[in-house]
Each structure stands twice: as C-alpha cells, then as structure tokens.
Structure 1
Amino acid sequence: MLETTADHVIDLLVRMFRLAPENVRPDVPLYRLHIDSLELEELRLILEDELGCDLEDVHLTSRSTVQQLLDVVCEKAAVA
C-alpha cells in the first residue's frame, strides 16, 4: 500500500508522541496533542530528513492545527 505524505506525517505524530490515532484529527490544535514548540522543532527536523524537503521557513506553532501542519508539509514535500 502506497503511503501519502499526509499519512506519513500522521503516522509519525502517532509514533513520536504516543497518540491514539483517532485523536489526530485535522481540526485539533497541536497543543491539544501536548506538542510544544520544542517538540514541534524536533518533528520538523525529522520530517525534513525523512521527506527530503526544507521546512526551515515554515511558521507553525503549537496553536496550529493538524491540518495546517499537513498542508504545509505536503506542499513542501511536493516541490522537493
């Protein structure tokens, strides 16, 4: 089965932060998943490495939603 970039990001969120998959919904802010700014930076570095894209100029905070994270990562991965 071919995994999309969005699926990869969600899977990484579930594994990295030990989240129940049903809690990782598009409308949920990252802080509700207990992801703080330091963890968000760690996630960014892992995504850059795994997807081969540059997320340096991406401005996300713990108040950003899962959908906002998915949108920006999918956009950047598509151009990489």
Structure 2
Amino acid sequence: MQPVDKTLQNLQQILISNYEHSVQPKNRQTIAEEYGIHVSTLRRLIKNKCPEIPSRASLMPADIMVLYSRLGIPPYLKPRQD
C-alpha cells in the first residue's frame, strides 16, 4: 500500500467517525474556527480549491468531506500519535 493510500484511508476513517457524531450541516464560521482562519479566508479557499461546493452559509456533511480532503483536516481534529 502506498503512503497516499494510507493517508486517504486514515482521512476516511476520521471523517466517518466525525460524520457519525455530527450529521448536521456546519456553518462556515464554525469550519473557519476549526482551521483558525477568518470566514472570508475560508470562503476564498473554498472558491479556489473546491469550486463544486455551493456558496451557501451552511456546509452539508458531503461538502465538509470534500473540504477536509482538499485542505486537510484541522489540527485539533486529527488523532494524536503518541
């Protein structure tokens, strides 16, 4: 298995566990706080890197998965590696 496949598999496991805990749409402000950036910066990143995500206030779980896969998982959501 290649390292990229392992990374994608880990990402998928994290997203599935997060999805099970929160199936609700998330507000862009909440996502921006997860990344530690301003919401306007998040909007610009979404516009440039994830053009398929619609420009509405709330992000659906599928949109969040696309966002996390393109921008990476916010640091505090990553599992600790001790």
Instruction: With the length of structure 1 as denominator, give the TM-score of the two structures.
Output: 0.35
